[in-house]
Structure 1
Amino acid sequence: MKLQQPKAKQPWKEPEPYEILRAVESKDIMYLMEIRDRAFHLLIRRSGGVTPLLHAMRIGKTHRDVAIILVGAFSRYVNHLEDADIGRTQTKVILKALRANLKLAIDYGLQSSQSDLIASFLQTLVMSEGEKWVSAQVSNVSLALRAGTAGHPVQTAQTAVRSFATKELGKARAIATLEDYVANATGDLLMMAAWSAARESVAGEPIPPWYFARDDRVYKTFVERTDTHRVAIHQSVTKRLRWQIRVLRTVLEGRTTTWRSKVDTLMEEFDQGEGV
């Protein structure tokens, strides 16, 4: 008697839109995660006027968990983007579609269940079309740092970030996770501005604008750049800027203190203190 050979595993084939919507309806999470890993763009594609996320949310409370899982997949994509991916046309297309999906999730109130949602939305906004905004604000905050306490650099950075975020989020502006984003982004803007000012005297690489408000990427790069050019910074930049760089490195280090607390400390040093 011959033993039956196990059936060969079928090669992966990109699903049709209706198959993805059916997976949403049946809560086939494993299949949705496979699509996430193999063909992420299909999870954000609109077909027949609906995306998988919108379909899940329209079904209602019974499928809220599916919607949250999809939003988690979106945040994961943003956080795992590599530098080499950012400039690609395909990435820009995905980010634009992703932004629309994330805004939709915010409008449906999913941020109460998905703490990364607000940050992910604003990150995709910056990465897809916000580089000019980041560059302009870095320039403004750099001027404020140069002016010392009279320039109120922390307030300048914080106001710029809050204005940007609330403009894009509208009614969602009061939620707590936005405040976390504002604090994180304020710290990043100050570091990018300080390094931009230092680069007028030091031949270092800029901090990429798409690092802005993405975990601790700006901080790590800021520390790396200022370490690499430590001697040149000591010899070439102003006493005030050297002090500001030291304060930024010290205050923003580590994860035991919240971003909001760190920004409050920077406010005391840069905006309200005696300054240098």
Structure 2
Amino acid sequence: MEVSRRESGSPMCRPSKDLHISELYLAKRGLSAIPDLSKFKQLRYVWLNNNKIKNLNGSVFNCCIAELYLQNNEITTISGALRHLTCLRVLLLHNNQLKNLEETVAELRHTHCLQTVNFFLNPFTQDPEYREYVIHHLPSVQILDRKEVRQEERRHAFRLFCSERLRVLDTLAFGRRAVTPPVGRKITQDMVKLRGYLQRSCGFHASTGQSCLGQHRTMFPLNCPSEYKSVLQFSIMDWCSMRTTQQSPLEEEGPTALNILTVKFR
């Protein structure tokens, strides 16, 4: 146990020494429960590994803890015990009895500083999508189970758990081109809703298949709503070709035409 003390010169102003303890080593003590550590306001590093701890009592740790070592215990759940640790950077929980992957990850979603996590040798790690699930739902983690998280793994996890969002991104301008549904594909409910939206927005007559916006008449291919892409257009003006008041004589009849470049992306 390491104690960090900053005591004033006067004994009357000397605070309790518990307030300045920054490191606490309680490994290999045969503990079956965690003692109340909330009184250690400056505690940053805690070793509780290699004990017989089964349950984590809620809020026994102060919110300033940066590294927490709980490996080689008998912990079955961390629900309600770690969500307030917003400064947590390192969490070792390997070789415990954690069985619920969703519950465990949900407890850590607010720990946005979390960089290193160990979960191996827990029952939920047998899930075939375990690693991708943790990578996707804990995006700040850089090292998972002693292995660096690669960008390729993040992309794969995104495709696996955000397929709907990926489909939307694929249809945006500057994104990847959306794949046109093959001929003969069954129209889904989303396609039916989109068709109805286009009909209402453009004054579409179902009986004639025509638009009634003034004199303009347009046919809509109802079976291919994904063909409608977003269009982005912008113009660039060459201000260098514009004369200033010093360069342009007063008797000049009209301004010089500007060079305007218009670009359209579909």
TM-score by length of 2: 0.32
Structure with the higher fraction of residues in helix conformation: 1
TM-score by length of 1: 0.31
Structure with the higher fraction of residues in strand conformation: 2
Indicate the structure (1 or 2) with the bigger Cα radius of gyration: 2
